[in-house]
Copies of this chain bind each other. A is one copy, B any other.
Amino acid sequence: VRVDSVDFYYLSMPEITLDVDGSQDALLVRITAGGYVGWGECEASPLVSIAAFVTPPSHGACQPVSASVLHQQLDSPADISRISALVQRNSMDLLQAPHTYSGIDMALWDVLGKARGVPVWKLLGYSCSYPKTPYASLLFGETPDETFIRVRTEVAKGFRAVKLGWAGFGEGTVKRDDDQLAAARDAIGTDGILLVDAGQIWREDVGAAADRLESLDRHQVTWIEEPFLPDAYSAYSALARQSSRVRVAGGESSHNARMAINLMRYGDIGFVQIDCGRIGGLGEAKQVADYAVSAGVTYVNHTFTSNLALSASLQPFAGLENHSLCEYPAEPKRLARDISPSTIRIDPDGCVRAPDSPGLGVEVDLDALVQYMVPVELRVGGHDILKASLTV
């Protein structure tokens, strides 16, 4: 089959706050090819990502993403690799391109899986999909008491693992952070898995991060995530070498496989976290998973939005039995829930797994999304390059 059409849906909650909650808007991608329909989701700025698909070219190595996708042959995983390489070459100087292409790539795999009647993780070379232990991804409360309540709420739902981040963590005193960690550990109990997301707060300041290691260790935190700017490899490595038990995690900002591999190779991280809505799709993510296995690093998905994004992000490590943690969007905005209601449930045994149904195994209910749709119109040089046509 050939790629017949690529459509973007910019969805948004009525109000966007400046909380670091990425589920407040969404950019869905729908691809049709030979009668099949595939879906993907960019974890990226909707307007800017759409612009990168339709922009006029600047020159041969700064072409719109559309130039490398529309009308391409799509019959095998090799075709998707070829399209991905085309985008990397033709849009070399278009920085936003990997974010735009990530959702497209998911939709291409979804089409291919549906056409062959197999789940995407089989197309990626796995023979089965292992259960993963979901962790609830939360923002810290404003106070330790609030953090305690948030964690308890998730524990009550059955979560045995929780990640907390942002809301000032790392910006104040070590004591303030320690109080937050104590509340979280208290709430989850001694057997619970506690993870912390530093959200790049220390930039390249290894000392500021190392000052928290004793506290993180005492509260048995499994990993400290994104302590530094994403490519500050030497800072990552220095912290990893100073830590005895707490591992360093990172990688969500990677917009190609090599960035994540470099963070493992030079940054000595213990967990590599990949968002398939940013890294350039499932093929790039699978390369990261393969390297992680060879390097003894644990692969984890990064997902804060819909079940569509979650399914996509599970595929590249679905078949890795020992890579068993999974970021699970515990409290997404209703927009993210409405994209694909309850598709990936938590099993009675407390686990989730990538769906067994063909493609990504997640259906999108467009009718339920009309209320969130944001029309976009782009005119360049007096010509419409995108009309307000992004509706059902």
Are A262 and B16 touching (Cβ within 8 A)? no
The interface bits of chain A over 344-374 (1 if a CB of B lies within 8 angstroms of the residue's CB, else 0) are 0000000000000000000000000000001
Q: Which of B52, B57, B93, B266 contacts A262 (CB 8 A)?
A: B266
State in angstroms the CA–CA spacing of A258 and B12 once bound together: 34
Chain B residues with CB under 8 Å of A66's CB are none
Tell me if B255 and A95 are in contact (CB < 8 A): yes
Asked if A178 is at the interface of the complex by the 8 Å CB criterion, the answer is no
Determine whether the beta carbon of B253 is less than 8 Å from that of A229. no
Q: Bits for A63-92, please: 1 = Cβ < 8 Å to B, else 0.
A: 100000000000000000000010011001
Interface readout for A222-234 with B: 1 if CB under 8 Å, 0 if not?
0000000101111
**Residues in chain B near residue A22, CB distance under 8 A:** 58-59, 62, 93
- In the complex, A51 has a CB within 8 A of chain B: yes
Contact B232 A59 (CB under 8 A): no
A78 → chain B closest CB, angstroms: 16
A185 at the interface (CB under 8 A from B): no
* Interface-central residue, A19, A92, A99, by most chain B CB under 10 Å: A92
Q: A45 and B93 in contact (CB under 8 A), knowing A20-B60, A61-B199?
A: yes
Known: A21-B59, A229-B258. 7 other contacts (CB 8 A): A20-B59, A25-B59, A47-B55, A51-B51, A262-B262, A376-B379, A382-B388
7 contacts between A and B (CB under 8 A): A18-B57, A21-B60, A44-B93, A52-B96, A231-B256, A375-B380, A375-B382
